[in-house]
Amino acid sequence: MKNLERYYVNNNSTYNPGYHHEVHTEEHANELNISSKTYLGYYNNCFGAVDKAKEIYRDADGCAICCSMCHKG
């Protein structure tokens, strides 16, 4: 089990092939230099983070790289 991590949702939906608002861990969001993102909170997996993101963006989806368990495409 991973430790708690901070999760963010990208406010820009155009930087991924499916044009979703993608959810990232803080580490991966920083790696990608995402300039406009909304903090979702601490979660110990991506499922809670994606649920939270869906309150903001109905099309929210997990990043294929850092949230692969929650990536639907």
Residues that bind Zn ion (CB under 5 A): 24, 28, 63, 65-66
Q: Is 16 exposed, middle or buried (0-12, 13-18, 19+ CB in 10 A)?
A: middle
Nearer to Zn ion, 1 or 32 (CB): 32
- 20 CB-contact burial (10 Å; exposed 0-12 / middle 13-18 / buried 19+): buried
Minimum CB distance to Zn ion, residue 58 (Å): 19
Q: Which residue number places its CB atom closest to Zn ion? A: 63
Minimum CB separation from Zn ion for residue 14, in Å?
15
